[in-house]
Amino acid sequence: MSKDYYAILGVDRDATPEEIKKAYRRRAMKVHPDVAQDDAEAADKFKELGEAYEVLSDPNKRAVFDRGGDPRGGGGAGFSGFGGGFAGGFDFTNLVDAMFGAQSGRGGPRSRVRRGQDALVRIELELHEAVFGAAKPLKVDTAVVCPKCQGSGGEAGSEPVTCSTCGGQGDIIQIQRSFLGDIRTSQACPQCRGYGTIIPRPCSECSGEGRVRSKRTITVKIPAGVSTGNRIHLEAQGEVGPGGGPAGDLYVEISVRPHETFRREGDNLEAVLRVPMTAAALGTTMELITLENEWADSDPDARKVAVEVPAGTQSGTRMAIKDRGVPRLRGGGRGELGITFLVQTPTKLDERQRELLRELAELRDETEPGAVEAHKQGKSGGLFGRLQDWLS
Ligand SMILES: [Zn+2]
Ligand SMILES: [Zn+2]
């Protein structure tokens, strides 16, 4: 439910814009943090007042509210955009920040040395690298500690000196006058950018930043079983911070290239095996070259697998070979190698083959199959749907 903005401001429903403005000023003064210092909810109350004023001072929003609608759209969203509707035209959010921010966060000059940001790089892997693991070289371009000044930001022998503008405080107090009374705000000193000190002769290599950008190649160990979207976390391999501060972390995001033969489904590897019609009918053993064949460190015996095609195999039948899928990232073991048979109907027949097939059809009483109902696939499309996915 939306709040009763009239009650919040303490005005009648037919209050004039002038009355609304006055009521807002009066109440805003009350919850002003300099007045209501012992009230922990002052900030919330102040925002609520702002919300009420935002709506009731705008004829359109007020009309929406009077009709029982939600004039601020979405309701739960944070309080923002007040500036546009306000007659004075100042940014309300900044004012709140100035009032409430000024009470806290007065910690003197800030340090030049700060932790660097985390960095994210992407790496593309072949399927076998993701499945069996790999050590991959990776080019990264991040900030490193400036080799010339070792992070200090100054030329050799150039010590930072106290900033004369702020006296080393790092910030400057300003008094702003407003209808709410005087508001104390503190701003980072423009001279020293809040550091409280100035480097008289900044390092020529890094312009005083204490860090420079550098391309380097690192080796990333890819654990077996990763998949697209997984991230590898490398501590302290990210951006070195300003002033040569500690480096952030590096995240390597995996993306796996599609493979011609094998498709990954969770911990399983799936493949389609084309089986000649006659072999499917009579049964046979076929050889499948496995994904291990692409992995230099694999057991040579694992590079192919003998697949038993039972007599009477239907197109779309799936067979699973346990423990030949993807190693599980957690928990150990491997998924399955799934093989779906695709029975191949011969297309080019010579006269003799045609004759034999005709004879077979006669023997099986299949020369005139007649009318049959189409095979029901179920809602998910069944095996046929899976097969179509594959072939597309
Ligand atoms: Zn430097
Ligand atoms: Zn300063």
Q: Are 24 and 45 in contact (CB under 8 A)?
A: no
Residues with Cβ within 8 Å of 44's Cβ and at least 6 positions away in sequence, in order, are none
109 Cα: distance to centroid of ligand 2 (angstroms): 8
Give which of 216, 214, 212, 215 is closest to 243, Cα–Cα.
212
Q: Tokens standing for 259?
A: 């493979």
Strand 250-256, strand 171-178: pairing: unpaired
Q: How far is the CA of 207 from the centre of ligand 2 (A)?
A: 18
What's the pLDDT score for residue 63?
85
Percentage above 90 pLDDT, the chain = 56
CA dist., res. 367 & res. 379, Å (int): 32
Rg of the Cα atoms in the chain: 36
Task: Give the ligand at the shortest distance from the Cα of 170.
Answer: 2
Q: Which residues pair with 211 in a beta bridge?
A: 145
Distance 244 CA to ligand 1 centre (A): 9
pLDDT confidence tier of residue 316, bands split at 50, 70 and 90: very high
- Six-digit token string for 216: 């380097």
Residue 137: pLDDT band (50, 70, 90) is: very high
- Ligand 2 centroid to Cα of residue 7, in Å, is 46
Long-range contacts of 36-43 (CB under 8 A, 24+ apart): 42/100, 43/96, 43/100
Q: Specify the DSSP class assigned to residue 36.
A: -
Q: pLDDT tens-digit profile of 21-67?
A: 888 888 877 776 555 555 667 777 778 888 888 888 888 888 888 88
Residue-wise pLDDT for 86-108, tens only, equals 333 344 444 444 444 433 344 67
Q: Identify the helix (H) or strand (E) that includes residue 362.
A: helix 351-363
CA dist., res. 345 & res. 328, Å (int): 38
54 compared with 79, residue with greater pLDDT? 54
Helix (H) or strand (E) holding 280: helix 277-282
pLDDT band at 314 (very low <50, low <70, confident <90, very high): very high
Q: What spacing in Å lies between the alpha carbon of 213 and ligand 1's midpoint? A: 11
Residue 225 per-residue DSSP state? T
Separation of 148 CA from ligand 1 center, angstroms?
5
Residues with C-beta atoms within 5 A of ion ligand 2? 163, 165-166, 189, 191-192
Q: What is the number of other CB atoms lying within 10 angstroms of the CB of residue 51?
A: 18
Domains of the chain, earliest start first:
1-72 (1.10.287.110), 78-104+161-198 (no CATH), 114-158+199-257 (2.60.260.20), 263-391 (2.60.260.20)
- Alpha-carbon gap, residue 245 to 387, rounded angstroms: 55
Residues in contact with 353: Cβ distance below 8 Å, sequence separation at least 6, in sequence order = 346
Provide the pLDDT for residue 386: 65
CA–centroid distance, residue 148 to ligand 2 (Å): 26
- Distance, in Å, from the CA atom of 182 to the CA atom of 303, rounded to the nearest integer, reads 79
- Closest listed ligand to the CA of 150: 1
> For residue 49, what are the contacts with CB-CB under 8 A and spacing of at least 6?
8, 9, 24, 27, 28, 31
CA atoms within 13 A on the CB side of 373: 3
pTM of the model: 0.63
Measure 110 CA to ligand 1 centroid, in angstroms.
19
Tokens of 204: 């020529």
Q: Which ligand is nearest to the CA of 243?
A: 1
Q: Identify the nearest ligand to the CA of 187 by its number.
A: 2
- Cα of 162 from ligand 2 centre, angstroms: 8
Confidence of residue 348 (pLDDT cuts 50, 70, 90): very high
Cα 105 to ligand 2 centroid, rounded to whole Å = 17
CA of 185 relative to ligand 2 center, distance in Å: 16
* Cα-to-centroid distance, 188 and ligand 2 (Å): 8
Per residue in 123-136, pLDDT (tens digit) is 999 999 999 999 99
Ligand that comes closest to the CA of residue 151: 1
Which ligand has its closest atom nearest to the C-alpha of 193? 2
